[in-house]
Each structure stands twice: as C-alpha cells, then as structure tokens.
C-alpha cells in the first residue's frame, strides 16, 4: 500500500512540475510579445533528424539555428528552435524574426 501511495505522489509531482514548466513558457512568451524587441536573425543551419515514433510511424524533426549581432555592442547571439513534423519555411542564409528581451538577448522566442 505504501508503494502505491509513493508511486501516486511521484506521478502527481511529475504532472505538477510539467504543468508549472508549461505555464512558465507561456508566461515567458507572452512577456516577450508585450515587452520584447523584434530583431532579424540570419539562419545559419537547418538540421533534419528522421526517426520513428513510439507508435511506429516515421517523423521528421528540424533544428534551426540563427545568429544576430547587436549593432550596439557588436556581440553575436545564437538562437535555436526545433520543429516537430513540420518543414521550416526558412532556408539557410534566410532571415527570421526573433523576439528578444532587450536587457538579456539570451532570453528569446522565435516568431513563426
């Protein structure tokens, strides 16, 4: 009985943690949409990864990397994101909008 109770507590804790992480991501994206600054970054790489899902069907994941150099500081920032089963509309060398936190460009969100 104690093992079942412990398993239920661990499962509830895991679900609660996942909910907190999702809520935080939503908050962060909303904050960036209202307070962030849009910059235009250059796509530096697109990596495709093909594999099989647990259900047996094939899936394709794309990992996009882009870079932007701050004209004020001259520092270059690298941004990345991944897309599940969706071919990106961007190509290497293309431009992509990215929302950044003006005080900390390492906090960002891609604008798709």
Q: What residues pair up with 79 in beta bridges, in sequence order?
A: 66
Q: Is the pLDDT of residue 112 over 70?
A: no
29-to-17, 22, 23, 33, 91 alpha-carbon distances in Å: 18, 11, 10, 6, 24
The whole-angstrom separation of Cα 107 and Cα 90 is 22
Q: What is the pLDDT of residues 51-107, one digit of tens each?
A: 777 777 788 889 999 999 999 999 999 999 988 777 788 899 999 999 999 999 999
Strand runs labelled E in the chain:
37-52, 58-69, 76-84, 95-101, 104-110
- The count of residues in the chain is 112
Q: Output the pLDDT for position 61.
A: 87
User: Is the pTM here over 0.75, yes or no?
Assistant: no
Lowest mean pLDDT among 1-5, 37-41, 82-86: 82-86
Q: Output the pLDDT for position 88.
A: 83
Q: Output the pLDDT for position 67.
A: 97
């Amino acid at each position: 009985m104690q093992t079942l109770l412990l398993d239920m507590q661990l499962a509830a804790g895991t679900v609660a943690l996942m909910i907190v992480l999702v809520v935080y991501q939503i908050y962060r994206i909303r904050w960036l949409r209202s307070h962030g600054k849009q910059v235009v970054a250059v796509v530096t790489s697109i990596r495709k990864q093909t594999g099989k899902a647990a259900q047996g069907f094939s899936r394709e994941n794309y990992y996009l990397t882009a870079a932007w150099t701050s004209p004020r500081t001259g520092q270059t920032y690298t941004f990345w994101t991944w897309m599940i089963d969706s071919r990106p509309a961007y190509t290497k060398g293309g431009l992509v909008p990215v929302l950044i936190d003006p005080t900390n460009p390492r906090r960002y969100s891609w604008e798709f």
